Amino acid sequence: MRIAVFAGDGIGPEVTEQAVRVLEALGLPGLELVAGDVGGAAYRKHGHPLPAATLETARSAGAILFGAVGDFTLDHLERALRPEQAILGLRKELGLFANLRPARVFQGLESLTTLRAEVAEKIDLLIVRELNGDVYFGEKGMRTLDDGRRQGWDMMSYAEDEVRRIAHVGFKAAMGRGKKLCSVDKANVLETSQLWRDVMIEVAAEYPEVELTHMYVDNAAMQLVKNPGAFDVIVTGNLFGDILSDQASMCVGSIGLLASASLAETSFGLYEPIHGSAPDIAGKGLANPMATILSAAMLLRHSFGLEDQAARIEAAVAAALADGIKGGDLGGSAGTREIGDAVLARL
């Protein structure tokens, strides 16, 4: 099994180093880790945030473990050369159309969320967001009307096959969890959502064990605050998913714990913490590597089918947190390497 490791900028290399230690400690047969340059680091070396060699490395691997990209000292560059283009380029080139973001409240961290403890402790959900379609990618424009007013527009659209493939990701994820899938749309006012709902119902026939429900997005936003413990897997479009996944992540309490996956139609995927390069703490050994370690667990689960090893990593992180090992982002004082050690000791 070949894994591409793209550490990137800022705290990226620090947090991926710890995740790599965890992967190596599992004793996976045939594990091969190949590094590649991305982001500002790649721009400095090769003049491009996503060099061709990096893309080639990605294509030769079964999955990518990604740190973070972003470097404000390169803000003067034209858009195509900015560090962030690395992640956008990888999504596009590798057909990564499904974004998965788990959110769960770990034992011992209930007090960090803004929710009441009895509400927070039940949170263990996964948001599956479509990444390549919707209003972000539809026809858009801006014009000045005859009376001088400006008008802007963005077309929201989904084709059946685009909805079908994200539906399968949602149902499969639900099969591996609590077998409950909530499809979020706005079918009372949007045609796009009516199609979305029809396709979800059609695909549900292939997953008779999964209980499919539908919820309007405004209600979903409310329920995520009121009763987030009721959700297992949520599947939704690009726009609604963008907003709901950020909302759900904050139920968890800290950015240093949130992992994500971006999946292709094959088993290929890119796995990264949701945080950025954190220039304010970069190079100081202060970053919490747990989000990246949890991303490595998702990588084993979704790209290599290694559910047991994934669960082992997640249990080790949970045990470290329960034992009070906390980074600065959680109000603790453990450093990057110390947290890595603590997780390794509990594997």
Binding site for ligand NAI (CB under 6 A): 11, 15, 68-70, 72, 84, 87, 255-256, 272, 275-281, 287-288, 291, 327-329
Q: Is 282 annotated as a binding residue?
A: yes
- The interface partner of residue 68, options being ligand NAI, Mg ion, none and the CB cut-off 5 to 8 Å by kind, is ligand NAI
* Smaller CB separation from Mg ion, 246 or 308: 246
For residue 239, CA distances in Å to 17, 98, 155, 255, 256 come to: 33, 13, 12, 21, 24
Q: Is 237 within 8 Å of 131 (Cβ atoms)?
A: no
Q: Going by C-beta distance under 8 Å and a sequence separation of 6 or more, which residues neighbour residue 31?
A: 1, 3, 23, 24
- The interface mask with Mg ion, positions 182-221, x = CB under 5 A, is ----------------------------------------
Q: Is 177 within 8 Å of 228 (Cβ atoms)?
A: no
Q: Is 87 annotated as a binding residue?
A: no
Active site residue 161: no
Q: Is 208 annotated as a binding residue?
A: no
Q: Which of 9, 185, 186, 329 is catalytic?
A: 186
Active site residue 242: yes
The SS3 call for residue 269 is strand
Q: How many CB atoms lie within 10 A of CB 60?
A: 12
Active site residue 172: no
What's the DSSP call for residue 179?
A: S
For residue 64, CA distances in Å to 29, 40, 258, 261 come to: 18, 18, 17, 10
Q: Is 286 annotated as a binding residue?
A: yes
* Smaller CB separation from Mg ion, 33 or 250: 250
Report, in Å, the least distance between residue 117 CB and ligand NAI.
23
Q: Which of 184, 134, 182, 140 is nearest to 159 (CA)?
A: 134
Q: Which of 218, 226, 308, 323 is catalytic?
A: 218
- The interface partner of residue 185, options being Mg ion, ligand NAI, none and the CB cut-off 5 to 8 Å by kind, is none
Separate counts of helices (H) and strands (E) for the chain: 12, 12
Chain residues 222-251 in contact with Mg ion, contact rule CB under 5 A: 242, 246
Q: Is 197 annotated as a binding residue?
A: no
Q: Which of 98, 64, 68, 82 is nearest to 278 (CA)?
A: 68
Active site residue 186: yes
Report, in Å, the least distance between residue 329 CB and ligand NAI.
4
Annotated binding site for substrate: 91, 101, 129, 218
Which amino acids are annotated catalytic?
136, 186, 218, 242, 246
Annotated binding site: 91, 101, 129, 218, 242, 246, 276-288
